[in-house]
Structure 1
């Protein structure tokens, strides 16, 4: 069972960590490249602020973004701002998301995200947690996949395994962590493979943050995953 209140609290904790890390930057570092191709650290912070507002829209029954083009334009517009403006925007947008999450609501209702994706409202706080935690890593400021909370890593691996389940572009794949726990993902075509290793390396590969070279693969080559 999804505990949205637990996840809302986790979002706040992760946001506080992110804000502390971002506050240690300066404007020159902010303009430097992040780990996401073509994005500066300013792009990452701008995206995080606008994503918080977009998820407020989702919880409020409104379109997540006006359009894909508007989303990209907002990020490009906000990326060059000075650090103090970024920090204020991150705090304010996080406060708006927290306030929306505190409203009495039917958390079992279905909500719509980008590209017609449907989900249960109770899962939106975890989706926000994914954004905050992984993009903190993307900033390249010393917060690594190995630093992510264990509960988050476990749940995000499950989330991504579910996302690729049934995808014909991915062969039948068994994911195994160091604790012996296993998950199944992929479609039903092709030779089955098993991919194992430390959970943060599994997460990095599934989330497109690592190339999977640290993983052990049996039954065939490491599957090429479609973009998220």
Structure 2
């Protein structure tokens, strides 16, 4: 949880530097504004708390009531002033931390169902929370970029994405390796080898970059990143 706490602090620092007139500004995930992204992070944290409650109590608690309800909540919160957005992020972060720290030992072995239908254990929700913070922090286009993601956090997020891809019935034939860290993965043999800085690999794998800063051997160009969610 130390990485999550540090990531939360970095996210909050960026938010405190924003002003109300910048909340409606563009992001890396159009048509969402910064207000949409920040609200999404808060509501996604709520959803993880619901899954942790499911693990703790054994009572099925869906991550979201519906995808329509999820979208409506994000839209409703997107135009709030900075102070309200910061308070929302702080409150949900505290509740997530408490939900994790108070989880009984037996609950860590429980399985809960993500909105995608995938079964996960509570331990796997921690890198999910880290991914939400770091990727959406960069999405804000407010000074924090994928190059600013600490290498250990980037590695944890990438490893989690690869694990999700390996759970698919048909992982694509693709290999990738960082040129500045020891990161290296093979999804399935026979595909191109994509190489470059770990931060560029993270941006590519999360769909925020077409492969800028990367090269691919065995292919004319860097292929689109596999869809992982």
**TM-score, normalisation: structure 2:** 0.88
Q: 1:104 to 1:161 in 2, by over 3 A?
A: closer
Shift of 1:163: 2.7
Q: 1:70 to 1:181 in 2, by over 3 A?
A: closer
**Which residue of 1 is the match for residue 58 of structure 2?**
none
- SS of aligned partner of 2:194: strand
Contact 2:211–2:222 under 8 Å retained in 1: yes
**Which residue of 2 is the match for residue 202 of structure 1?**
201
- SS of aligned partner of 1:19: helix
**Which residue of 1 is the match for residue 129 of structure 2?**
128
**Which residue of 2 is the match for residue 176 of structure 1?**
177
- SS of aligned partner of 2:64: coil
**Alpha-carbon displacement from aligned partner over 1:184-220 (angstroms, at most 9, x marks no partner):** 015x6xx521111111111111111111032111112
Alignment length (residue pairs)? 217
**Runs of at least 5 residues in structure 2 that lack an aligned partner in the other structure:** 55-60
CA distance in 1, matches of 2:154, 2:177: 13
Shift of 1:154: 1.3
Summarize the alignment of residues 92-107 of structure 1 with structure 2, pairs less than 5 Å apart. 92-105=91-104, 106-107=107-108
CA distance in 1, matches of 2:211, 2:120: 29
**Which residue of 1 is the match for residue 112 of structure 2?**
111
CA distance in 2, matches of 1:55, 1:118: 13
Summarize the alignment of residues 1-228 of structure 1 with structure 2, pairs less than 5 Å apart. 8-61=1-54, 62-105=61-104, 106-165=107-166, 166=168, 168=170, 170=172, 172-178=173-179, 179=181, 181-186=183-188, 192-220=191-219, 221-227=221-227, 228=229
Q: 1:66 to 1:180 in 2, by over 3 A?
A: closer
**TM-score, normalisation: structure 1:** 0.89
Shift of 1:182: 2.4
Shift of 1:48: 0.8
Question: After the TM superposition, which of the residue ranges 152-161 and 41-50 deviates more from structure 2?
Answer: 152-161
Contact 1:137–1:145 under 8 Å retained in 2: yes
**Runs of at least 5 residues in structure 1 that lack an aligned partner in the other structure:** 1-7
Contact 1:169–1:225 under 8 Å retained in 2: no
Contact 1:44–1:139 under 8 Å retained in 2: yes
Shift of 1:167: 6.0
